[in-house]
């Protein structure tokens, strides 16, 4: 009788682990599909708005980074724009955190060389380091 109970307990444990693993694998598959879909959506968005990212005869360079945030269930993109001017031998940089599906701005960064200002969800910042810190939770979860 003891042997049957042990076998039954072991069988239940194996069944529980298999069901748990199947659920985990299914969740992982869904996460992967959402990440992949987000990547494609961001690529399409970028190409539609910025082409190859080189604008104004090379005076403006735009790049992007995308991320599907599982916690927020959002497809996010950071647009990095660098502007160059030969006339004044200076440039400036802008970045935007944007939800591609809902066309919603979450934050911006601007650095002209003379001054820097930024904001992420009404949290103001004054440096690129602060911007990176505020944006980090959106781009990692």
Residue 9 lies in a domain: no
Domain total for the chain? Answer: 1
The verdict on residue 19 lying in a domain is: no
Q: What percent of the chain has pLDDT over 70?
A: 79
Domain holding 79, by residue range, is: 33-140
What integer pLDDT is reported at residue 19 of this predicted model? Answer: 47
Tell me if 88 is assigned to some domain: yes
Nearest by Cα to 11 from 117, 92, 88, 3: 3
Half-sphere exposure of 104 (CA within 13 A, CB side): 9
Q: With respect to residue 6, please indicate whether it lies within any of the assigned structural domains.
A: no
| Residue 125 included in any domain | yes
**Is 91 inside any structural domain?**
yes
The helix (H) or strand (E) run that includes residue 113 is: none
Condensed to tens digits (0 to 9), the pLDDT of residues 65-89 reads 999 999 999 999 999 999 987 766 6
Q: What SS3 string covers 65-100?
A: EEEEECCCCEEEEEEEEEEEECCCCEEEEEEEEEEC
pLDDT per residue over 40-57, tens digit each? 999 999 999 999 999 998
Cβ atoms 117, 105 nearer than 8 A: no
């Amino acid at each position: 009788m003891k042997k049957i109970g042990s076998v039954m307990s072991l069988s239940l444990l194996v069944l529980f682990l298999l069901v748990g693993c199947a659920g985990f694998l299914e969740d992982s598959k869904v996460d992967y599909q959402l990440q992949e879909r987000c990547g494609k959506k961001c690529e399409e968005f970028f190409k539609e708005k910025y082409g190859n990212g080189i604008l104004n005869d090379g005076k403006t360079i735009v790049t992007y980074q995308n991320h599907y945030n599982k916690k927020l269930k959002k497809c996010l993109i950071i647009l990095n724009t660098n502007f160059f001017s030969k006339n004044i031998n200076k440039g400036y940089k802008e970045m935007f955190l944007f939800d591609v599906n809902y066309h919603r701005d979450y934050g911006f960064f601007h650095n002209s060389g003379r001054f820097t200002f930024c904001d992420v969800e009404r949290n103001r910042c004054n440096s690129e380091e602060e911007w990176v810190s505020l944006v980090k939770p959106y781009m990692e979860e």
